[in-house]
Amino acid sequence: MQSPRMRFLSGVRLLRRSLCSTATTTETRSQKLERIADELLDLNKLERHDYAVLFRFKLGLNKYGPAISGLDSSASASAGGGAAGTDSKATEKTAFDIKLEKFDAAAKIKIIKEVRTFTDLGLKEAKDLVEKAPIVLKKGVTKEEANPIVEKLKELGATVVLE
């Protein structure tokens, strides 16, 4: 039985053979793909989740609308003109980050269990995450998704904010 890495690399080799015509270009592309694959395999669960969200966003596959092309141009437009700044304030924020500010020490175990319910983290990762408070627990959630999570964490004795 092949490991996921070996299956990935064999798929890359097949793709490389079908797409590339010259040997030198093929070698540099395969090295780059192998390096990227190694870096992706070294990520922990939280980093993989963040990467998946970012990758979907860059491809325009996120559920908050199409990807924004040219972030630099939008930043310079809001900094340059006063009218553009008022327009951006008028638009409503759709994606929020759930940030754990602090928590009651007596409720630490309950908070860790609750964090595990809305993330796909293991016990150790969730414990490490909660102990790093103040920290963002979940990024890019809608207000409808975030409100029940925030309410539950507040009931357990945590101070949570939406950013």
d(CA 121, CA 37): 22
**Locate tokens 């357990």: which residue?**
156
**What pairing do the DSSP bridges indicate for beta strands 135-141 and 158-162?**
unpaired
Domain membership flag for residue 36: yes
Domain count, the chain: 2
Locate 8 and state its tokens.
Answer: 């990935």
pLDDT, tens digit (0-9, with 9 covering 90-100), for 38-60:
888 888 888 888 888 888 877 77
Regarding pTM above 0.85, the answer is no
Domain membership flag for residue 62: no
The larger pLDDT score, comparing residue 53 to residue 8, is at 53
Average pLDDT, the chain: 74
Domain membership flag for residue 100: yes
pLDDT, tens digit (0-9, with 9 covering 90-100), for 10-38:
665 655 565 554 555 556 888 888 888 88
Domain that holds residue 8: 4-42
**What pairing do the DSSP bridges indicate for beta strands 96-103 and 158-162?**
antiparallel
Domain membership flag for residue 104: yes
Domain membership flag for residue 70: no
Domain membership flag for residue 123: yes
The single-letter code of the amino acid at 78 is: S
